[in-house]
């Protein structure tokens, strides 16, 4: 398992489909995962420090986990089958819950929990961005600084 950071979310054109971009902490691979608009909005909110007037589903899940005396030890993106990513929420003491990666990432960002990706998933779907494409990554970072959750068209 390799630890990753969440670089952010963006809308992939021309499909208008949001993606979350993860990057190896100790490596040079990126992992793009296509996600839904609601999850993209939720991730963008937490990354931008936006506090919605009412809790989103991921805020609720974080609160429920805390209310039952648990913490989110880590999130693991465990496998990729037929183009579908799978993840787990590790709540410690052997309690593991299956989740979509987008939901798991949104909760992990709210709890400050580490996000890990299976080596095989990174080997299969991870991409290395050559030096000449680093400008594109920088433009992506600039985009992330400018994007708002409303850009994803999801209602909260």
Reported as a single tens digit per residue, the pLDDT across 13-65 is 788 899 999 999 999 999 999 999 999 999 999 999 998 889 899 999 999 99
49: left (phi over 0), alpha (psi -120 to 50) or beta: left
In this prediction, residue 135 carries a pLDDT of 66
Question: Distance between CA 92 and CA 113 in Å, rounded?
Answer: 12
Q: Please tell me the least confidently modeled range out of 4-8, 46-50, 127-131.
A: 127-131
For the chain, give every domain's residue range. Answer: 2-149
Give the CATH architecture of domain 2-149: Roll (3.10)
If pLDDT is split at 50, 70 and 90, which confidence band does 129 have?
confident
pLDDT band at 152 (very low <50, low <70, confident <90, very high): low
What pLDDT is stored for residue 15 in this prediction?
A: 81
When pLDDT is cut at 50, 70 and 90, the band that residue 151 belongs to is low
Maximum separation of any 2 CA atoms in the chain, in Å? 49
pLDDT of residue 156: 44
Q: In sequence order, what are the beta bridge partners of 23?
A: 5, 30
pLDDT tens digits for range 99-111: 999 999 999 999 9
List beta partners, residue 6: 22
List of long-range contacts for 13-16, beta carbons under 8 Å, 24+ apart? none
pLDDT in tens, 74-97: 999 999 999 999 999 999 999 999
DSSP letters for 50-110: ---SS--HHHHHHHHHHHTT----EEEEEEEETTEEEEEEE-STT-EEEE-HHHHHHHHHH
Q: How far is 106 from 84, CA to CA, in rounded Å? A: 18
The closest of 46, 107, 41 to 71, measured between CA atoms, is 107
pTM: 0.82
Is pLDDT of 117 > 90?
A: yes
């Amino acid at each position: 398992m390799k630890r990753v950071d969440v670089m952010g979310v963006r809308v992939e054109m021309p499909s208008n489909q949001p993606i979350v971009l993860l990057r190896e902490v100790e490596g040079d691979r990126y992992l793009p995962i296509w996600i839904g608009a609601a999850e993209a909005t939720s991730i963008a909110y937490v990354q931008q420090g936006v506090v919605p007037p009412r809790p989103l589903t991921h805020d609720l899940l974080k609160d429920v986990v805390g209310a039952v005396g648990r913490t989110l030890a880590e999130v693991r993106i465990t496998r990729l089958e037929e183009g579908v990513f799978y993840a787990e929420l590790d709540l410690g003491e052997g309690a593991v819950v299956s989740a979509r990666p987008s939901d798991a990432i949104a909760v992990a960002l709210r709890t400050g929990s580490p996000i890990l990706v299976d080596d095989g998933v990174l080997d299969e779907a991870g991409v290395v961005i050559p030096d000449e494409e680093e400008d594109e990554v920088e433009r992506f970072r600039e985009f992330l600084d400018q994007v708002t959750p409303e850009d994803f068209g999801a209602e909260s």
